[in-house]
Amino acid sequence: MCGIVGVAGRANAETVLIEGLRRLEYRGYDSAGLGVHCSDGRLRRARAPGKVSALETVMRPEVSGSTGIAHTRWATHGAPTEANAHPHQAGRVCLVHNGIIENYKSLRAELVACGRRFASETDTEVVAQLLDRELDGGADPKAALIATLGRLEGAFALAAIIEGEPGLVLGARRGAPLVAAVGDGASFLASDIMAITGEARSVIYLHEGDAVIVRPAGVEVLNAMGEVVDRPLVPAPASMAMAEKGNHRHFMQKEIYEQPEVVGRTLSAYVNAVSGRVRPREGVDFSKMTRLHIIGCGTASYAGQIAEYWFEGIAGLPVKVDIASEFRYRNPAFLEGDAALFISQSGETADTLEALRLCKAAGIVTIALVNSPHSSMAREADIVAPTLAGPEIGVASTKAFTCQLSALAALVVLAGAQRGRLSAEEQAGHIANLMAVPSLMAAALKVEQAIDRLASELAQASIVLYLGRNEFFPLALEGALKLKEISYIHAEGYAAGELKHGPIALIEDDVAVIVIAPHDALFAKTRSSIQEVRARGARVIAITDRPGADELDGETSAQLLLPRLTGMAAPIVSAVAVQLLAYYVAVHKGTDVDQPRNLAKSVTVE
């Protein structure tokens, strides 16, 4: 993930900023920069592609002061160049930003029409220009920030300094993490508390939609309506290990909450939002493929099964999904024009790696979809398709799974275009659907409290069944896997239409059945399955949307409401509820959420 650090009121703020960026290097990035409100009243920047060490080499003595912001960037809108590196400056404003501004194209066109000139290819510069325009119109910094935030759509965190406003840092978060903190005579902003551990004495974990005014003497927080609110000050973590979790109880919970940001980053690595197209990947030509094998283990395999529906339905490409441990031993038969895509978070999964080697030996084109660009699979595959989830500590995969789905969805659009199955307008429609995912995921996280209440009862269950149709069937399998991984409850996932072919025998009074039931084209079929299990005494929990909830009124024991979802965005966003449900059941059971028994994060032996 990209990193943000800000400081107000600290002598030689640039040293704090550089150290903060160093602590965030593990997240991955391709450029770095900082901006400082200098003692002569001017804003000065230093930016460089590459590592923080490269930034240090371009630092000049005059880039020094007591207030500043810094950033590590992973290129999304625009290549990793100095011009696209953060901070971006527009007039009096210097600004850094994580996430995606979904409506940046229309905002940019509006600003250009007003005579504003842009120096980068990024969506971030739009925010700096908007904020500067508000200031030019006479607004004070707080009013200018609130007005600017009201124009933005998407999931993001940002920090800004303003020329002529020494000792002031503005910040805001919507769907991406940001914390404020106070120390001895100074205050701070950061996307991760790790960046300011040791400097901060007390921390404010900002709520969704909060804006913040940071000054040396303290921090003022505004809610999404622009009203001043009190947010609790809590003691800052005393060690880096504690800081890694921030205000989250477990790494798994933190990683669930990181999804709007990392999914946005993954999508932006594949999509050219300006053109509404997926960027071609060297060596990938879906038009020449007769069949695509998708191979993985566990959660990665379920991501592949969801993508099977997409590749066949949208791109017209036949797909065969295999569990890696079975594929490598069943002596698979290949066709001319076959290609194979291997999914692994670590890129070191033993069975998947051996399956890749089997395909290479057979002369099959191999694609590795991995979260580790220097892994064995990335080195050995013909083509690498990265996911940009960042380090995932919790053994039960969460953000890696949704980043895999996001990358696969982008590849599906590319396949549809290359195979002549999608018009330019249809491609743009799919891209718009996917680029809305980060903000939809942020909205979906609001179901957390309802899930927490429900989980205390569900934790007493001895068996839980998950049902889904179409692409939600593999998501049902993933939900069951998550639950048994971390709560040790026996759980199974089924295609809802298969109930009558055996699984319905498991239904008896008080058996818990979780049904993923968005109000889509198959809703009526899914509703029939709900009625079947309910008639036999099951406690039905529906993961649905408002139209689905209205039709299911009185037919379920509980409903978990998600935003209205369509297209490939639907299973990606729905995964949030499935993950949170497993997480809170495990918490109520008191199991070791991050390191469940008998499991390892990366299975590197057979």
Tokens of 376: 């064995």
Report the C-alpha gap between 238 and 202 in whole angstroms: 10
* CA-wise closest residue to 310 among 1, 583, 571: 571
Tokens of 136: 């030019």
Where helices occur in 398-545 by DSSP H, the ranges are 399-418, 424-435, 437-444, 448-458, 472-487, 523-534
- Taken in order 75, 80, 83, 87, the sign of the CA dihedral is positive
Active site residues: 2, 601
- Reduced to 3 states (helix: H, G, I; strand: E, B; else coil), residue 559 is strand
- Ramachandran angles phi, psi of 279, nearest 5°: -65, 130
Tokens of 326: 């079975």
Report the C-alpha gap between 396 and 593 in whole angstroms: 8
* Beta-sheet pairing, 539-544 with 558-561: parallel
Tokens of 402: 């949704």
Report the C-alpha gap between 259 and 441 in whole angstroms: 7
Where helices occur in 137-258 by DSSP H, the ranges are 141-149, 240-243, 251-257
- The angle at the Cα of 263, spanning 408 to 285, to the nearest 5 degrees, equals 25
Peptide bond into 332 cis (omega under 30): no
User: Which amino acid does the sequence have at 476?
Assistant: A
What count of other Cβ atoms lies within 10 Å of the Cβ of residue 366?
23
- Reduced to 3 states (helix: H, G, I; strand: E, B; else coil), residue 369 is strand
- List of long-range contacts for 192-195, beta carbons under 8 Å, 24+ apart: 192/3, 192/23, 192/24, 192/27, 192/243, 192/244, 192/246, 193/236, 193/237, 193/243, 193/246, 194/23, 194/24, 194/240, 194/243, 194/244, 195/3, 195/4, 195/5, 195/20, 195/21, 195/23, 195/24
Report the C-alpha gap between 262 and 296 in whole angstroms: 21
Residue whose token pair is 């969506």: 123
How many whole angstroms from its chain centre is CA 471? Answer: 20
- The angle at the Cα of 523, spanning 520 to 524, to the nearest 5 degrees, equals 140
- Kindly calculate the radius of gyration of the chain based on its CA atoms and give it in whole angstroms: 24
Cα dihedral 432/437/442/445 (nearest 10): 140
